[in-house]
Structure 1
């Protein structure tokens, strides 16, 4: 979700979901005043629950994400992103994952997220991914961590590595060819440096 999570603007007296940052929990606030000055849009709010209950603040409009009655629908995908983040991978694994997917998995079958959770694999064509992995989707979903987004399975970064390994086992030749090419390039560079 982006800063403009709703087209609706807050009005005095309404309750809205406030988030300090995109990853912060939603907090229920009441709108006390709306201030527009040029391009600036600020809102005077009062927190309604928790330790900050009764506290008033003047905040940017972007921190008011959705009307409070829509908070459950707004928070559900945000919580799912957090669950996907719980299984990260390191840079080396990420590099290997990207290489394998570029070599062996067409974007129309599956692709990696670049925003909310780096290296999370969203599957567009489940039947084709079954062919590439040699495993039924039901087995992948049962054994690996995933969430559903917009009707599509999205696997954690760690699960994405496992899927990439399965794809490599089914079709290792392009990866071996790539390794040999990279090795030859590195050797030529090394020999050129020695000869200079």
Structure 2
């Protein structure tokens, strides 16, 4: 009877140890833009997702992502209007969980990734919305064309990450634009013109 309890006790102890580890590594996150640290930040490549969503035939929302992204952020909570965000997306890194469709989307009818291998975003102006969010107005260069877009950015908080040794900002953003503005108009309106972008990222202070 007692020997049967030993595995249960061991499982309980291991579970308790893992739980305590999770508590120990969870940072003390401060929220609110004005609580965050000024600095130059670079994207944490292991904690980023850039998603796009588009209407498909009026029947569903098609979702994809780009796997290769880089970005920098210049940030001062005392002067949020001077914040600068720059990003580069490797267009060929498009991922829709279907290799054949990915090859089609890289072709000249869609992104034409061989001719236009990268997309670029850079900030033109920043306007504070509330204590956690701001509108980053900037220029997007995609498919060889440049046009203005707006990113609604939310700063989720900031903290010292003991796993990396860097002070880190939690960051998310959403945007919507028409792909036809950038000369990508194949199959409109069967495939929607409006594209929704969602970004989830962490930036590390350097």
Alignment TM class, shorter chain as reference: under 0.3
TM-score by length of 1: 0.21
Q: Which structure: greater helix fraction?
A: 1
Q: Which structure: greater strand fraction?
A: 2
Which structure has the bigger radius of gyration? 1
Higher relative contact order (CA 8 A, sep 6+): 2
TM-score by length of 2: 0.21
